[in-house]
Amino acid sequence: MTTQAATFELEMTRFIRAPREKVFDAFTDEAAMSVWHCPRGLHVGEVSSDVRVGGRYRITMVTRDGVVHGVGGVYQAIDRPEYLAYTWAWDGEGDAAARTTLIEVTLTEKDGGTQLHMRHTGFPDAAVRDDHNQGWTSVFNHLEDYLDPEGSARTIVIVGSPISTYVRTVCIALAEKGVAYTLKPAKPHSPEVDAIHAFGRIPAMYDGPLQFYETRAILRYIDEAFDGPSFLPANGVTARARAEQWYSVLDDYGYDAIVKRCVLPYLFPASADGKPDRAVIDAALPDIDRVLATLDAAYGKRDFLVGNAPCLADYLAAPLMHSLSQVPEGPALLARYPNVQRGLAVMQARPSFLSADMERDAGKVVPLRKVSVA
């Protein structure tokens, strides 16, 4: 490799619950590389690997809209199962000497698994290095999905209370994608939540070392990072705008009226006598009725808010309507709006809703658990 003046480098460490030989083979076997060697949201197109010192490899990574990013290089050192070194050069980025970097992978046995240490050197500036940091983090999440027996439940962790409608929305979305995950119960403003969310709200999410918060942002990441049905309708800009519209209605008006001013007063009475504040609940009822009437008109004769398949708005609507149905005023309110009732019943019957039906009595400890959806 041509010597470079650049001194920017990246070092990453990841513990993999798999034997060292299997981790090493994942870096060199063409069939294995075709499964994991790209960031989330892309897929591997072609792989070739001539695993010998001086041999060449090549990988193409393809976006959902068909854009191909190719990378390749030459093996510099091979010492199975401990050490692998190879050059790394993206296609079409100018002079080869300026864009060729070096990757060194060291694998060490640890705690029944493998400690992976990668050193990537020769970046021309900090920005390019930092871009690769994000990319490699996502790629190694893929590697853990591939090698660890728990799959994506090892890297995807949802942090939040299982009684939260927003937590349920995210769990439904993951299940719709068929992604296994781990739920880590935590209350708002708890240390576990504050470690991720700047404002202490739930849900928050880990994907390996990556952290995300705010439900809409988490849904955006899940939708683009994983294969499966899109969370937004595919049939045109109008339908996608409607999906965002109904999500916003539920987020801005539905949650406030239904959860904050009706459900939570029952779950967490603020009065000295331990009874819900009737003034707060009674004031919320007209606003809840207005939300239900608006949604009922939106459903029309369909089972979903937009089109003939569920979208992100339905993932938010179902937990909200379900929570409403559990308070004394809920059944009578819902009975006025058959379209809303039908939409709720259809979502409640879906495997994604059933897997996310984690409602517990307030104050109960819900153990850490993994939810897998085939």
For the segment 92-123, what is each residue's pLDDT rounded down to a tens digit?
A: 855 544 589 999 999 999 999 999 999 999 99
Backbone angles phi, psi at 146, to 5 degrees: -75, -40
pLDDT at 303 over 70: yes
Give the span between the Cα atoms of 38 and 63, in whole angstroms: 10
- Residue 358 pLDDT greater than 60, yes or no: no
Q: How far apart are CA 215 and CA 209, in angstroms?
A: 18
Distances (CA, A) of 82 to 1, 27, 50, 63, 109: 22, 12, 18, 32, 9
Mean pLDDT of the chain: 92
- Quote the strand ranges of 208-304, DSSP E: 210-213
Res. 346 pLDDT band, cuts 50 70 90: very high
Q: Beta strands of 94-253 (E only): which ranges?
A: 101-110, 113-123, 156-159, 181-184, 204-207, 210-213
Question: In this prediction, what percent of the chain has a pLDDT beyond 70?
Answer: 92
pLDDT in tens, 204-251: 999 999 999 999 999 999 999 999 999 999 889 999 999 999 999 999
User: Could you give the C-alpha distances from 62 to 39, 199, 247, 339, 364, in angstroms and in order?
Assistant: 10, 36, 30, 41, 45
Give residue 94's pLDDT.
55
For each of the domains in the chain, give its residue range(s) and CATH number, in order of start.
8-149 (3.30.530.20), 159-374 (1.20.1050.10)
Residues 104, 76: Cα–Cα separation, whole Å: 9
Bridge partners, 212 (sequence order): 205
Measured in residues, the chain has a length of 374
* pLDDT tens-digit map of 145-159: 999 999 999 999 999
pLDDT in tens, 156-193: 999 999 999 999 999 999 999 999 999 999 999 999 99
Entry pTM: 0.90
Residue 277 has pLDDT above 50, yes or no: yes
Answer for the pair 343, 307: CB distance below 8 angstroms, yes or no.
no
